[in-house]
Chain A
Amino acid sequence: MKTRETPRPNLLRPLWSVLPRLSVSRLPDLLMFSAALALFYGTVVVGKTWLGPFTPSVEISRSPFALPIYAGYSLLRITAAYVLSLLFALVYGYIAAYNSRAEKFMVPLLDVLQSIPVLSFLPGVMLAMVALFPGRQLGVEAGAILLIFTGQVWNMAFSFYASLKSIPREMREAAKIYGFSGWQRFVQMELPYGTIGLVWNSMMSVAGGWFFLMACEMFVLGERDFRLPGLGSYLQTAASAGDTSSLLWGLATMIAVIVLLDQVVWRPVIAWAEKFKFEQVESADAPESWFLNWVRHSRGLRRIQKKVVRPVGESVMAHFARQHARVAPPARSKSIVVWTGRLLGATVLLLVIYAVVRVVGTLSTLRIMELRELGWGLIATFLRVNLALMIGAAWTIPAGVAIGLSPRLARIAQPLAQIAASVPATALFPVVLLLLIRIGGGLGMGSIVLLLLGTQWYILFNVIAGAIAIPSDLKEAASIFGIDGWIRWRKLILPGIFPYLVTGLVTASGGAWNASIVAEYFHFKGHIYFTPGLGSTISHATDSGNSQLLLAATILMAAAVVTVNRLVWRRMYALAESRYKMEG
């Protein structure tokens, strides 16, 4: 552990000086102990509800005092889905990286899976889960968790796969020549090497998870009205009732939860992950976290680490080392492995063929009218998504460049923008809708506002990053040669931010397609508000249990996203890589 002076936030300094000496070192312990206690209590409460009988119409209380519990439930769903995603991502990435035959279809599959609109899984997953746990609340919960899982797992899997593929050759050779067992290789080389990528992708994934969670905590499926106690359902209920003060309480809680998560989870994790950065020289301004410093100072945790974690790790490592030594280096008879692989492959292939036949069969029952609806919907949503992107780009490019080029503005604007961006757009939908109805606008315009709400941040942050990354000598050269105004934009700024802008637009575009499912169709105050589009077709088909239409619309949307990615964004990426990359 590094012995570095640990600066604490200024706020805590006065408190520090007042407290007696002993408690300074005990405080982190106390905190950890209370956290463990709270966790235990939470488990008991959750266990009681989840295993309790299925209650299709949970009454969502609008009292602000219910908020902590609701926030806890939402957090728990996010956490469970995240843990599931992480495990899956590790396994998937590992197999794709080391099995060259599996790699050939596992990697393109990721691309497709990433493009499938998650929310269209909702009815299928929910009904299956409710059927799996009949008469238990657990079914609906598991459905929600599984749904969030499908929204956040793919980019994490891809990140781990890409990390594994980029481990330097000599490092791999070192592990091999020094006889590392598979386990040692994993914990001392592969996992640490992939950590940075996993951390950043986890942050993105969890942000996406909130988006879907807010949408799926309260929804209607045909006759049935599913409600899960949580922040999302609280906000929807409050907006439905037009209860402004509850709405504000809910939003405040939402923001508080997200800021808290940032402070006690993401920042510490980023600061901790600093040591996994693959760099030769220590960077000057390494990220810091007060919470991480606290945890590192907790004596209790250190004792657990010394007495439990280390010996257990030691014996696991030794076990695998012995096993590794026993296995002679020459190739064993692998025919069983090969045949199992082939059998597995054949089974998957058969299942895929069966699924395709069924899908084609289902789709052939679609009526002309429905096909027409799909066609027009595709066009409408395509226009809406791109209009939202253009509006987003139109304000975020000047704003982002202004922030990025002025350090003073960046200091003020960046944290604010971060908070604004971290509030899941779906949580705001009811609020925006309420406003729209009050000023008398329909969902036609409203859906664009909703799409914008969810996607503009991706563009903004990337533009800021791009503007910051423009080398200062280029900026100086431009000003020495008197290049300013429009020419400065055209010759310096736009080419400079181009690769970042493309990244932002790709993410925003994918997000906007997905968001159209919730933005174009909305249950509100007992009414259904909708505007024609592919997203509203999906939602409507979900509502009315029209599985053919749902399937067709989902496939169409996935196809649209993949096509746009291939035709437009991949080319833009290639251009950004070849021509607009800043090279040192």
Chain B
Amino acid sequence: MTDPIIQARAVEKFYVQPGGKQIEVIAPIDLDVAGGQIIALLGPSGCGKSTLLRILSGLSQPSSGSVLWHGKPLAQQQPSAAIVFQSFALFPWLTVLENVEAPLEAHGMGAVERRKRALKAVDTVGLDGFETAYPKELSGGMKQRVGFARALAVEPEVLFMDEPFSALDVLTAESLRNELLELWLSKKMSSSAIFLVTHNIEEAVLLADRVIVLGKNPARVRADFQVDIPQWRDRKAARFVEYVDYVYRVMTEPEADHVPPGSVATTIPTIKATRQKYQMLPHARVGGITGLLELLADRGDREDIYRLSDQLVMDVEDLLPILEGCVLLGFATLKEGDVETTPDGRRFAEADIQDRKNLFREAALKHVVILQQIDNILHAKSDHSIPEEFFHDILDDHFSEDEVERQFSTALNWGRYAEIFDYDPETHRLLLAEHLDGNSHPAAARP
């Protein structure tokens, strides 16, 4: 293999809390991006994969470690990179053509040459006829084509893509994927590598020559393997399914060792995630957990996760937290890419509304640390109430600011459903459910 274009050396990202405590988002990672490949970076939501993309492209700085392009640090050069964004990031007040021209204008290219290049890029992505349209007149798929054209026009050495298809509907996304692959395989684009961030496992296996799977909290490489299937790939082929299944296993059961299909030699040893000091709640709502358990009950209590996500037309991104929620509560277990209901889960699925609440409450108080803590403190305090801030302070020591918000909102959702406590949005206090003052119930005052 030739020299890599990008070399990341011990790249790390952390935030410093006001108290001086460091919250690690990305654990030190070494990563090479070589030419001639499509590389997919896979991971659950909020795992830091977009942050890693921004560090590699020079948009943001790592907290420590360094990124080299052709052996030279990023600080000394303007890397030849372009990004296709999830939200398209087009300027709504510029026409299609003006949007594509803007980066060329930034490079000081003359008007005539610029127009020529932009028209060619617009033509390449099949947008001819829409040159003078404004982005808001276009559909999502067309907008992303403009995003492509804008990136292609600057002829970047590495084309970065940050979840480029996830804001599109299923059919549009599929056709855009095919067009991207067509451009890449027929060498109609001048980039020598594509770096694609996605949470869609099939998309990664479909497009990429190499797949890197990230774990979360903090992000670290869990698997890094070549997809050894020639293009164009068939989603139904046994080998394709094997790869997809493998990734599902890596993502759902981080503790176990997994061996990718194909040669063992291409994989790096999976680093075992060290156990979290504080339990992290998956961002699942009670409704999702209930729905999944009911569905499993109908399917004979066991189902392949890949098939499940396929039938529900749900990304792993959305399915995974619900699965993790079921496992955390002791309602289900994960085995070899399958999910299986436990006796507790079975009972929960079959119970009526009131019993479900009781079962959920039992399970939550048995397995969920933060809910145990809240319950203990509320019972111990004489006024049976406690400000929300108190729990923020506990969580602050373990999670980033956004994550604290999500953790608290999940705990709130579970705890209110289980009637462990109630929450008064006016005073921002948690109250023991049976000690709630009837007048201040927030629902009563709502119009």
Genuine A/B complex:
yes
Binding stretch for chain B, among A178-186, A219-227, A508-516: A178-186
Contact A321 B75 (CB under 8 A): no
A-B contact count (CB 8 A): 95
* Interface mask (A155-179 → B, CB under 8 Å = 1, otherwise 0): 0000000000000101101101111
- The yes or no answer to B111 lying at the interface (CB within 8 A) is yes
Residues of A within 8 A of B85 (CB): 170, 173-174
Given the interface pairs A179-B107, A329-B77, the reply to whether A275 lies near B102 with Cβ below 8 Å is no
Task: Specify which chain B residues have a CB less than 8 angstroms from the CB of A281 in the assembled complex.
Answer: 136
B136: chain A residues at CB < 8 Å are 277, 279-282
**Least Cβ distance of A491 to chain B in Å?**
5
With A178-B103, A276-B92, A277-B92 known to touch, is A173 a contact of B447 (CB < 8 Å)? Answer: no
B78 within 8 A of A: yes
**Contacts of B78 on A, CB cut-off 8 Å?**
179, 329
- A279-B136, A282-B137 known; A170 and B106 CB under 8 Å? no
Tell me whether B108 and A325 are in contact (CB under 8 A).
yes
Cα distance A134–B406 in the bound complex, in angstroms: 66
Contact partner, A174, options B89, B105, B111, B447, Cβ 8 Å: B89
B257-314 contacts to A (CB < 8 Å):
none
Bound Cα distance A165, B425 (Å): 28
Chain A positions within 8 Å of B81 at CB level: 177
| Cross-chain contact A325 with B107 (CB below 8 angstroms) | yes
Say yes or no: is A21 at the interface (Cβ < 8 Å to chain B): no
Classify the interface of chain B: helix, strand, loop or mixed.
loop
Q: How far is the CB of B26 from chain A (nearest CB, A)?
A: 18
Name the contact of B57 in the complex, choosing from A177, A184, A328, A495 (C-beta under 8 A).
Answer: A177
Asked whether any CB of chain A lies closer than 8 Å to the CB of B176, the reply is no
Interface contact B108-A171, CB-CB below 8 Å: no
CB distance from B133 to the nearest CB of A (A): 9
Interface residue? A578 (CB, 8 A): yes
Chain A residues contacting B105 (CB-CB under 8 Å) are: 184, 317-318, 321
Supposing A168-B87, A170-B86, A275-B93 touch, asked if A188 and B137 sit within 8 A by C-beta, the answer is no
Closest to B134 in A: A275
Contacts of A282 in B (CB 8 A): 134, 136-137
In the complex, which residues of chain A have a beta carbon less than 8 angstroms from the beta carbon of B57?
A: 177
A81 to chain B, nearest CB (A): 28
Are A173 and B93 interface neighbours, CB within 8 A?
no
A-facing residues in B77-103 (Cβ within 8 Å): 77-78, 81-83, 85-87, 89, 91-94, 102-103
Q: Give the complex CA separation of A278 and B134 in angstroms.
A: 12
B171 at the interface (CB under 8 A from A): no
Q: B167's closest neighbor in chain A, by CB?
A: A280
The reply on A482 being an interface residue by CB < 8 A is no
Q: Give the chain A neighbours of B162 by CB distance below 8 A.
A: 170
Mark contacts of B106-132 with chain A using CB atoms, 8 A cut-off: 1 yes-contact digit, 0 otherwise: 111011000000000000000000001
Encode contact with B along A255-288: 1 for CB under 8 Å, 0 otherwise: 0000000000000000000011111111000000
Find out whether the CB atom of A184 lies under 8 angstroms from the CB atom of B107.
Answer: no
Given contact pairs A192-B93, A495-B447, A180 touches B102 in the complex (Cβ within 8 A): yes
A180/B89 contact (C-beta < 8 A), A279-B136, A328-B76 known:
no
Chain B residues near A275 (CB, 8 Å)? Answer: 92-93, 134
A interface secondary structure, majority = helix
State A178–B106 Cα separation when bound (angstroms). 7
A523 at the interface (CB under 8 A from B): no
B425-A578 in contact (CB<8A): yes
User: In the bound complex, how far is the Cα of B107 from the Cα of A277, in angstroms?
Assistant: 27
A527 within 8 A of B: no
Query: Does B154 touch A at the CB level, under 8 Å?
Result: yes
Whether B108 and A322, one on each chain, are in contact in the complex, defined by CB atoms closer than 8 angstroms, is yes
- Supposing A174-B89, A329-B75 touch, asked if A321 and B107 sit within 8 A by C-beta, the answer is yes
The residues in A between 175 and 218 inclusive whose CB is less than 8 angstroms from any CB of B are 176-181, 184, 188-189, 192
Q: Cβ of B92 and Cβ of A496 under 8 Å apart? A: no
Chain A residues with CB below 8 A from B87, complex form: 168, 170
Q: Contacts A173-B54, A314-B111, A579-B445: A178 and B93 contacting too (C-beta < 8 A)?
A: no
Q: Is B369 an interface residue (CB 8 A)?
A: no
Question: How far in angstroms is the closest Cβ of chain B from A417?
Answer: 27
Rounded to whole angstroms, the CA-CA distance of A184 and B103 in the bound complex is 10
Contact with A along B307-329 (1 / 0, CB 8 A): 00000000000000000000000
Residue of B nearest to A191 (CB): B93
Rounded to whole angstroms, the CA-CA distance of A391 and B130 in the bound complex is 56
Within 8 Å of chain B (Cβ to Cβ): is A330?
yes
Assembly CA distance A174 to B83 (angstroms): 7
Task: List residues of A (316-345) whose CB comes within 8 Å of B's CBs.
Answer: 317-318, 321-322, 324-325, 328-330
A276–B94 Cα gap in the complex (Å)? 9
Could you tell me if A330 and B75 are in contact, using CB atoms closer than 8 angstroms?
A: yes
Q: Does A492 contact B (CB under 8 A)?
A: yes
Residues of B within 8 A of A180 (CB): 102-103, 106
Given contacts A178-B82, A179-B78, contact A496 B91 (CB under 8 A): no
Residue B59 lies at the interface, judged by CB distance under 8 Å to chain A: yes
Knowing A176-B59, A321-B106, A329-B77, the reply to whether A168 touches B89 (Cβ < 8 A) is yes
Not counting A275-B92, A491-B447, a sample of 18 additional A-B residue pairs whose C-beta atoms are within 8 angstroms of each other reads A168-B87, A173-B54, A177-B83, A178-B82, A180-B102, A184-B106, A188-B102, A192-B91, A282-B137, A325-B107, A325-B108, A329-B77, A329-B78, A495-B447, A496-B447, A578-B425, A579-B425, A579-B445
What are 17 of the A-B contact pairs (CB < 8 Å)?
A168-B87, A173-B59, A177-B83, A178-B106, A181-B106, A275-B134, A280-B136, A281-B136, A318-B105, A321-B105, A321-B107, A324-B106, A328-B76, A329-B75, A491-B447, A495-B447, A579-B442
Q: What residues make up the interface of B, taking CB atoms closer than 8 Å to A?
A: 54, 57-59, 75-78, 81-83, 85-87, 89, 91-94, 102-103, 105-108, 110-111, 132, 134, 136-137, 150, 154, 162, 425, 442, 445-447
Rank and list the top 6 A-B pairs by shortest CB-CB distance, nearest first.
A178-B103, A321-B108, A170-B89, A495-B447, A174-B89, A192-B93
